[in-house]
Structure formats: C-alpha cells, structure tokens
Structure 1
Amino acid sequence: MASHQSAASRAHREAGEKLAEKAQWARAEQEFQQASRLAPKDGLVWLQLARVQWLAGRGEAAAQSARRSVELLPDNPLAYRVLDGMLKQLGQHQTAVEVLERVASDHQSEELLLMRAGSLFALGRHQEVVTTCLQVLGRNPKNPLGHYHLGRALKALKMDDQSAISFETAVLTDQTPEGGVRHLALPMLVLQLAAAADWGKLKQYWSQLLDVVEHGDVNAVASIAPFTLLAQASTPEQQLRVGRLHTQARSRDLPALPPVDERRPGRLRIGWLSSDFHRHATVVLLTELLELLDRERFEIFLYCHSVEDGSEAQRRIRAAGDHFRDVRRLSDPEVAQLMRADGIDIAVDLKGHTEGSRMQILAARPAPVQLSYLGYPGSTGADFLDYVVGDPIVTPLGHAPHYSERIAQLPQSYQPNDSRRAVPPRHARAEHGLPDDAVVLCCFNQTYKISEAQVDLWARVMREASRPTVLWLLNWSPSASRHLTAAFQARGVDAARLYFSPLVSPEDNLARLQCADLFLDTYPCNAHTTASEALWAGVPVLTVAGESFASRVAASLLNACGLSRFVCVDPQSYVQRAIALIDQPGELASAQQHLRERRHVLPLFDSRRYARDFEALLERIWARQDAGLPPDHLAAAQTEVLTGAVA
C-alpha cells in the first residue's frame, strides 16, 4: 500500500512539474495537492506546491504550504528561503521573525540569522538588527552579507560614518567570483559616501561601480540599484542599461495575466500604485490632482502598500480616491489579479526604482496601458510600462532613445502641486542665526546631491560676489556638515559664512525658506519637490539643465513659473549668473515679488489647469489603445517651452 501511494504521489508530482513548465499554475496546484495528500510527509512536495500556489496568486495558501515544508525539512535552507521570501512580500515580517526564532539555537545558521535581520529591519527594529548582525560576525567576521545588513541598520540609526564602514567592509570581504553581495553593497556605499560628502573615497568606489555598469555581466549589473546613478556623473545610456537589467531581474518570475477580452463599460478606471500614500513628498504633490480629476470621466483606485502613520496627509490622499485597496499583505500576483478584477484601464506606477517600490507587479500586465509617473525622474527600463509622463523640458522627444517607455508630455511642467498649501508667516532671520545685512544663498537639497564640483562653484560665487553672502544648508548628518565645512574652508570661504539648520516639519520649512534670497540648485541631480517648495515660498531657484530627467526638473519648474532666465546652460554661466543676481539685487527682488504676487496663477501652481491637462493626456493615451494602436510618443498639445537655456 505504501509503495502504491509513493508511486501515485510521484506521478502527480511529475504531472505538476510538467504543468508548471507550461505556466498552468492552477492545474499544477491540483496535481501537487494530490501528491501532498498521498505523501503528506514529503517536504519537497509541499515546497513545490507552495511555489505554484504563489504563482497562481494564492499568497496565503502558498505561505502555509511553505511553512509545512519547513516543519518537514528543518535542515533545508531552501525551505526557509522560500518561506521567508513569501512572508516578507506578504508583509508578515513579525511572523517571519517568529518562525526563525523557533529554530533551535544549534540550528541557527548564519543564513537564518540574516533572514531574521531582514525581517527585523522591515519592522523598524534596527537596534535588534545590529545585535543579530554582530552575532553573525562574531562567528564569521568575513561574512559580507552580515556587514551589508549591519550597514543598512546603522544607516537607519543615523550612524552614517559607521554605516559607510560596514558597506565598505561588505564590498571588500565578498571575494566570490559572482560578487553578489559586493554588487548590492557597492551602490549603498556610493550613496552613503555621497551623503557624507566624503568625496575622496566616493571617487574610488564610484569608479568601481561604473566599471561594473560598463563591463559587468548581466547578473552583476542587475544587482545595482538604478537610483544610485541619478545623482552622480553617469550617462543616460548607463542609466537605461542598469534600469532595464534590474527590472528584468525583479520581474522575471511574475506570470503574465491573459489579455483583457473586453473592457467593462463606464468611466476610465485609473489605478495608482505606491508605498508613499502617507506623509511623503509624493503625496504633497499628488493629492490635489486626484481631488480635482473629473469624476464623470475618471474613477480612481489607490493600491496602497504604505506604512500607517495616521497623518492628515494620509487621510486626505485616501479620501481623494474613489476606491482604496490596502495591498500590504497581498503577493505581487494577487495585487495584479485584484487590479485586473477592478477593471483598471490605465495603471500608474508612482515609485519606479525608489525605496519600497513594487513596480514589478505591473509586469503581470494587469492593465491594458501602464505609466511611469512622478516618483522616479528617469527611465525605469521596464518593458511593461508603456509611457513615462513628462513635459517638453524634462523629457524632450529628442531624448526618446534614452527611454524604454514612450514619452507622454504635459504642456507645462510634469510636476503637480497643491495650491491649497498655506504659506505660513515668514520667520525672522534671527530665529535661524542668519544675518540681516548679507545675501542669504541656500540649498536645502540632501547632501548626496552636493558634489565636490558643486562646492567649487558655490565657493567661487561667495568669493567673487561684491556683496556679502552666506550659504544656508541643512544639517543632514554631523559628518556631512563637517566635511562640507572643511571643503569650503579649503576653497577660501570662512566657516562663519556657513549656516546649518536642522530638519523641521514642512510647514516650518516653508516659513523659514522665506528668509533666503536665492536657492542655488545642484547638478546633475536637481532639487525636485524641494525646488517647488522654494518657489512656492517666493524664493527663486538658479539651476543648470543637463541631459537627464533628474538634471532638468528645476528648469521645468522655473519655466512653469515664468522664470526661464534662471536656467543656465553650463556651470560657468551658473557662476556668472549667481554673481550678477547678488551684485545687482533689483532683478532678484523682482523675481521674488513675481513669485509672491502671482503664486496662484502661475502654471506650476495652477492645480485646476494641471488637472485638465492631465485628463486630456490620459484621454489621448487611452484613445490610441481604444483604436487598437500601439503606444507612441505624445508631444505636448500646446507648449510654452523655455527658450535659449534648454535645448
């Protein structure tokens, strides 16, 4: 009898494997379930059942099967990997921790401890991550993944110098031929060194990262976080290569849904996917647009995998949608199936290659048309995103070869804004220790955007301007402020002319921004939301427009404020223009008055106008789909393009 059951179980298992090869997940699941009934103590059968259930979009059932495989195979690392991965994607990090904590101490391998560290990190228990990583490194000081996870935790704890050391150690200790951990840690190290303004080491490791981009194999390049390239001197071709390979690696196992047979009648159903539906810069920009979209023509669905922060911003964004879907505990296939069941016509990814993204969900093609919008300033490299929403400045059609998506242009700036935001009363300069008798230059960008070359330009401006100037920055970390101060002193600018302020609430930030005379932007990664905040506060922004989306954002915002003359073509003209604005204050004062008095009628802040333009673009995009035409570049219907400064 046992022999007969074993043979029957094997037959069902082999049938399930053949069906899985054909991506017939539901039928494969039935075969593996039969095999598991006949051989209930065969852990490998339960593991195979878990895989096909996952791909069939049955996340909870898959996790239960994977848990059973762990019970039957307590010494099998693969069983733990599968279960841990499923629980993490389902947002069940506490459950993952509990499963791993039940493993006997003498079975707690370095790999299992680091799985636990990953779940603790997701739960925000960063100090426990440190403790767990130190336990691993106490056993094996050369475990590169232990140093990598330690670096992530130290970064979250604002221990920036120590975090950089951990990432560097991860890079140096990974001696494997494939360099898997090294390629994960190297981008993190580059970002951390940039954030600390540690430019000496940054040059060394940035060179190594570019070498991987140019000469590394597919797996090596796919490991690189694409966002890393945006703030450093990289080409659009390099950014596209990394984005494309990284996206392919993240989405390769997600099964595609069958094509939509027939559209359900009714309004255009727009689905928005993000982890930023809480107190976040994206919500500051997006909410009023969603509130203003014409509900007779559009139905709004929010697919949210955000943290619960209970903020007013979170309450407002949720109220702005017609339907709210909490997908934190759903697997990627389940979210795709939910979007398909909702009849989404146009899916909008708001994250791209930023932290917390689940852009790969759209690889299943839950919607006939899919867009990249707002969250990522560049091409995602995703072949499942049909369009990137831009404008004639950030995404000129001449840059189309740099994008995997088709370009869909809005007539003004691509960036929405909130015209309902209050502008609080201006702070007195004395509240921030700023002098009343000097021109206050400021840059509130994060330090990773401030390059050594940028400091060269700012120091030149401060040395050569005839009127007294000070530079106002934010204190993102003690090490960054220390390195920046030393850099300015080395360039002949006294430390007394530098002011570092702490991070504050958005409301207080708008109040204090009004103390500044001129915002000096960074290159090649501009201020984005930070620039529109400065303009809303009445502070002109001076920028250089480059070749990438990220380096053209401020130009787009300025053009939509009627201040295209504040866009420079190169670093030399940027310095000359800054000095002229300082030494001849009339033009600067006029620009400040222009922003303050015309704030509510400027295209950048005219939310109703933006909503109408966005609606028209969605309808143009859908018209092609409805006519059976493939996606194609869509030039702005009407264009007020910046003249002279940006080609």
Structure 2
Amino acid sequence: MQPPAPADPDTIFARTTALLASGASGEALELLGAARASFPEHAGIAGRYSDALHLAGRLDEAVDAYQVALRLDATSTQSWYGLGCVHLARRQYGAAARALKRAVVRQPDAGLPNHSLAEALYQLGHVDAAIDHFQRASRAGIPGLAEVARSNIACIIPGSSAADNAAVLRARQDWAALEANKIPSSARRRNVRTAKGLKLRIGYLSAFFGERNWMKPVWALINCHDRARFEVHMFSDGGRPSADNGYRDHPDDNIHVIRGVANERVDRIIAGAGIDVLIDLNGYSFQGRLPLLMRRPAPVIVGWFNMFATTGIAAVDWLVGDSAVIPPGEEPYYVERIHRLPSTYLAFEVLYPVPEVAPLPSLTHGAITFGCLGSQYKLTDAVLGAWARILKGAPAAGLFIKNRALEDTSTRADLLDRLARHGVDAARVTLEGHAEHFDFLRAYDRIDIALDTFPYNGGTTTTEALWQGVPVLAFNGDRWAARTSRSLLLAAGLQDWVLPDAESYVQRAIALAADPATPARLATLRGELRDRLRAAPVCDSVGMCRAMEAFYQLAAAGVT
C-alpha cells in the first residue's frame, strides 16, 4: 500500500524533488497531483508538478502546468527553464527561446539553460547568438556539458557569420582532439591494402541513404560505378538504398546495415570487408560516426558530398571539392588534403517523381516573388538584412519562405519580428511550413527567383530550385559553405546568377525586380532550364563518376 502523502507542502516538495532526481517520475507525479489540489497556491509544488509532467512525456499538460507555476512565482528559473525545454521538445522554437531567455536572465552562468537556449536560437537562425550561449554552457562546470556544447559549436560554426575559416578549423580541431583522446592508441591503426590487382573495394558511409531528396549526387555517382573495376559497399545508419530513393540496385553491391551498432564494432565490420577507400557522406550531419573515422577502419578515408568545411580530423586523408568552393590558397584551413574535381563536386540526377515545371508566377501576378525553401537555421541576421534591402529597393516584390520549422506559430512570429526590425511589412511576406516532398517542390510554382542563404548556402535546395525551373541568386562567399551554390550554378552554365559579393547580390535582385523585361526572360529560362541542366556538367554523373574513380585508384595507390 502506498504510504499517505505528507501533510506539509514543504516536505512534499523536498520528497518529490528527490524522486524526480532519481527518475521516479511516476511516483512523484502521483504525490504531486494530490498535493496540487490541497495546496493550489504553493509555487514549489506547482513547479515540481510541471517537471513531473514534463519527465512523463505529457508535454501539452506540462506547458499549462508551467504557466500556472509561473503565475505563482515568475522568478522561478527552474520553471522558465522547464517551460523552455518543453517548447523545444515540441519544436516551438520561438516560444522556447522566450522562456529560456527568462531563465538565463535570472542565472546568466547556468549551464543547462544556456545550452537549451543555444539550441532554440540556432533553430531560429540566430547562429552567432547560439554559439555564444553554447560557449557559456561550456564554462558552467557541469560534467559532460562542456563536451556536448563544444560538439555543437563544431557542428554549426560554418554557418556563423562571425566566424571565418580559421575559427572553423580551430573549433573542429578542438572537438576532434577531445574525441580522439577517448580512443585507445591501439585502435587507431592504419590498415594497408593487401588485395593487389583485384577490384578496388570502395565503401560509402551514410545515415541518409533513405533520404531521396538529399541523395541526388550520391546516387548519380554510385549508379554509374564500373562494377568490373570496383566493388561497392554501402554502410547504412538509416534506410536501405532503394529504387524509390534513386538507387539502381546492382547484384554485386554489398549493403551493410549498421544502425545502432557501436563505432568499435563498425570499425571491425569495415575492416573485415577489406575496404580500400572509405568515403564518409555524413560529415557533421551525423556527428556520432565521425569518431569511427579516427579509428582508421580503411587504408584511405575520404570526405565527400556533405562536406563544406574541414572535419578537423587528422585521420581523414582527403576532402573532395572543386575549385569553385575551395580556391587555391585555402588549403591551410584544412587538416585534410584537398582533391578538386574538374567540374562541380555535386553533379546530380533526379531519379524519382517530381512536379512538372509550372508557368512563371509573375506573368499572372504582375510582380516578382523572391523565395527561399532553405532550412530556418540558415536564415541568419545577415541574410534577413540583405533580403530586407532587396524588398525596400523593389517595393512591388514579395517574399515567400517555406521550411519545416515554420509549422510553428512562435517560430513564424520570431521571423516576422526580425524582418520587421529591418523595416519589412509582414504583408509582403508569406510563410509556410512543412509538406510532403512532392508537394514541397510544388512551392517553386509560386517563386520567380530563389534567393540563396549565406554563409550557409543551399545544396539540395539549390539543385531542387534549378530543376523546378527557378534560377537561384547567389554570390561568391568567404568559405566553402558560402560557395556551394556557386559550384552548382557555374556548372549549370548560370554564371550570371553568381555575383561577386553580398552587395552585388542585393543590387542584382533589385535590378531584376525593376526591369520590365525580367518576366519574359525568366519565363524563357524556366521553360528550358531542365534541358540545359541535362546537357551541362552539373548533371554529368558519368563524368563525375569517372573522375572520382580515377581519384580513388590513385589515392589507394598512394600516388595522388
């Protein structure tokens, strides 16, 4: 039989605090539910009841309960923190940031509130502020938290306007050094190729083989491999490669499902398969596998596809890019050797159903609609400032933004508030949230000109815009992440859409919106763009594959 609840509210508060700390949220919730009815004005019990609901996963109820607790005590750091964390779990990033800021104001050096606030700010596009709060969290002295915070900084820093190549290199090397220290030196071997004269065994490592929209360049490469000379292995942390996602199944290919398998075991799997060249397709998008590379499971380790900065990992031998994204002279900002493909490193094919190209919307609406379907975390203050200047200089134009994060009303409110601070009237902006991928692509039916983000460009977003007939306006940025669209546009024969700098980007957008000849030119381009892409290096999957195969052979032989 359950012992009766203590009659003293302070005793209940102390007991349930201990229960929650020990993980007994169910027992705490039972006690607190009764206590709330007996002591409805006790702020401590109200806060602990909110925490118990939160830990039990009853998030909707937790939001209401935290609001009650905060009406009783608006100075409670714990309740503001808890409320922010619930909003964060529900992907309500604007609401999360507001609540977590209240917690941090009360305890500026508190580690967990700063870390959660950083997460919310990053998802909203406040990247520089997010890094500042991750740094504060790292200094809080909480075991393990500094490591997680540094990991997050290393992941997101290429998208920080305040960072440069040197800062990116430093942050990633710092994180990599921490991770490398966890791996016994005996596990960091350098395998040597032993199967001389046989097919070269190449292995692709990815958590995203099942994501058809992401993998267009990957399948363009893998489908074209010469199986008479190469034995292809895929190590998958996600969905299996399939025809639905663009993979042309080959009977000689080897697919290894490694989801949930520890790095130590995967190391043995890859080494046991005799892989000569291991190509990591994840980069920091699946950070948990990067320490695997530090174990050197193959003689040669290459980073390609989802790379847009150094990994900071000395065990990675090569990064594959091109001269548009890594110009000569930037090698000192990479711990890896750089191999440049002759054209874009992201040549792609669209191997699944997509909408037909729609008529140009400005022919109907009479004014240019600029748009962006990039992730919300790419919409930095610098991006919004540039777009605001474009709208100011093109008073008839509209702006359309669509991404998953904008499902949430508080995130939409945050974005509109940021634009308003730049002088943009909300009436000129259309915001939309997530859609199934086919319908998501239909959003390009409503866009005349896509605006690239910076310093974190589109990659998939740029290829999809072009394929739907929408040219992308971009410029030559100051780092790889800020030049990805440049690589694609140059290889597509769209040099005129790549400007020298951010100022030129703004002025070109204004000029296009003001020119009465723009709609006719855009309509012509829209109608012929797919055919132009198919004939251009940007869709030359065979050429990219042959260049990569030649590189793999030379890298395996150690003669590059």
Which bin holds the TM-score, normalised by the shorter protein? Answer: 0.7 to 0.9
Q: Does residue 370 of structure 2 align to residue 441 of structure 1?
A: yes
Task: Tell me if the contact between 2:206 and 2:280 (Cα under 8 Å) persists in the aligned partners.
Answer: yes
Match of 2:265? 334
1:362-411 Cα shifts (integer Å, max 9, x gaps): 11111011011112321110111111111101122311111111111111
2:207 to 268, 275, 285: 275
Distance in 2 of aligned mates of 1:375 and 1:436: 38
For normalisation by structure 1, the TM-score amounts to 0.67
Alpha-carbon spacing, 1:589–1:623, altered in 2? closer, same or farther (3 Å): farther
1:557-595 Cα shifts (integer Å, max 9, x gaps): 110111122112222211221122223316545543552
Alpha-carbon spacing, 1:208–1:594, altered in 2? closer, same or farther (3 Å): same
Distance in 1 of aligned mates of 2:298 and 2:18: 45
Alpha-carbon spacing, 1:320–1:420, altered in 2? closer, same or farther (3 Å): farther
Match of 1:569? 500
1:180-213 Cα shifts (integer Å, max 9, x gaps): 647754642430342xxxx6xx765555557899
Alpha-carbon spacing, 1:592–1:189, altered in 2? closer, same or farther (3 Å): same
Task: Tell me if the contact between 1:212 and 1:220 (Cα under 8 Å) persists in the aligned partners.
Answer: no
5 Å matches for 1:231-630?
231-233=159-161, 234-255=163-184, 256-260=187-191, 263-265=194-196, 266-279=198-211, 281-306=213-238, 313=244, 316=247, 322-355=253-286, 357-427=288-358, 436-465=365-394, 468-474=396-402, 476=406, 477-584=408-515, 585=518, 588-589=522-523, 591-593=525-527, 595-624=529-558
Match of 2:9? none
User: What is the SS of the residue equivalent to 2:266?
Assistant: helix
Q: Which amino acid aligns with 2:530?
A: R
Q: CA deviation at 1:520?
A: 1.0
Task: Tell me if the contact between 1:224 and 1:246 (Cα under 8 Å) persists in the aligned partners.
Answer: no
Q: CA deviation at 1:500?
A: 2.2
Match of 1:79? none
Distance in 2 of aligned mates of 1:318 and 1:623: 28
Q: CA deviation at 1:525?
A: 1.1
User: What is the SS of the residue equivalent to 2:374?
Assistant: coil
User: What is the SS of the residue equivalent to 1:302?
Assistant: strand
Q: CA deviation at 1:172?
A: 6.6
1:163 to 76, 96, 108: 96
Distance in 2 of aligned mates of 1:173 and 1:350: 42
Q: Which amino acid aligns with 1:528?
A: G
Distance in 1 of aligned mates of 2:217 and 2:352: 10
Alpha-carbon spacing, 1:332–1:563, altered in 2? closer, same or farther (3 Å): same
Distance in 2 of aligned mates of 1:384 and 1:609: 28
Aligned residues: 496
Alpha-carbon spacing, 1:157–1:204, altered in 2? closer, same or farther (3 Å): closer
Alpha-carbon spacing, 1:182–1:229, altered in 2? closer, same or farther (3 Å): farther
Q: Which amino acid aligns with 1:603?
A: P
Q: CA deviation at 1:607?
A: 1.7
Alpha-carbon spacing, 1:490–1:185, altered in 2? closer, same or farther (3 Å): closer
Match of 1:90? none
Q: CA deviation at 1:327?
A: 1.4
Q: Which amino acid aligns with 1:155?
A: L
Task: Tell me if the contact between 1:222 and 1:247 (Cα under 8 Å) persists in the aligned partners.
Answer: no
Q: Which runs of 5+ in 1 are unaligned?
A: 1-104, 115-125, 628-633, 635-647
Q: CA deviation at 1:485?
A: 3.1
Task: Tell me if the contact between 2:357 and 2:469 (Cα under 8 Å) persists in the aligned partners.
Answer: no
* Range 553-562 or range 501-510, more displaced: 501-510
User: What is the SS of the residue equivalent to 1:371?
Assistant: strand
Q: CA deviation at 1:513?
A: 1.2
1:100-150 Cα shifts (integer Å, max 9, x gaps): xxxxx9996626579xxxxxxxxxxx9844669979x99xx7679x958x8
5 Å matches for 1:87-98?
none
Task: Tell me if the contact between 2:210 and 2:238 (Cα under 8 Å) persists in the aligned partners.
Answer: yes
Task: Tell me if the contact between 2:221 and 2:545 (Cα under 8 Å) persists in the aligned partners.
Answer: yes
Q: CA deviation at 1:281?
A: 3.9
Alpha-carbon spacing, 1:622–1:470, altered in 2? closer, same or farther (3 Å): same
Alpha-carbon spacing, 1:165–1:491, altered in 2? closer, same or farther (3 Å): closer
Q: Which amino acid aligns with 1:291?
A: N
Alpha-carbon spacing, 1:388–1:183, altered in 2? closer, same or farther (3 Å): farther
For normalisation by structure 2, the TM-score amounts to 0.77
Q: Which amino acid aligns with 1:235?
A: D
Task: Tell me if the contact between 1:268 and 1:299 (Cα under 8 Å) persists in the aligned partners.
Answer: yes
Alpha-carbon spacing, 1:253–1:523, altered in 2? closer, same or farther (3 Å): same
Task: Tell me if the contact between 2:242 and 2:248 (Cα under 8 Å) persists in the aligned partners.
Answer: no
RMSD over aligned Cα, in angstroms? 4.0
Task: Tell me if the contact between 2:201 and 2:277 (Cα under 8 Å) persists in the aligned partners.
Answer: yes
* Range 288-297 or range 491-500, more displaced: 491-500
Q: CA deviation at 1:423?
A: 4.6
Match of 1:31? none
User: What is the SS of the residue equivalent to 1:398?
Assistant: coil
Task: Tell me if the contact between 1:581 and 1:588 (Cα under 8 Å) persists in the aligned partners.
Answer: no
Q: CA deviation at 1:543?
A: 0.9
Q: Which amino acid aligns with 1:287?
A: W
Alpha-carbon spacing, 1:609–1:331, altered in 2? closer, same or farther (3 Å): same
Task: Tell me if the contact between 1:183 and 1:220 (Cα under 8 Å) persists in the aligned partners.
Answer: no
Distance in 1 of aligned mates of 2:432 and 2:60: 35
Task: Tell me if the contact between 1:472 and 1:498 (Cα under 8 Å) persists in the aligned partners.
Answer: yes
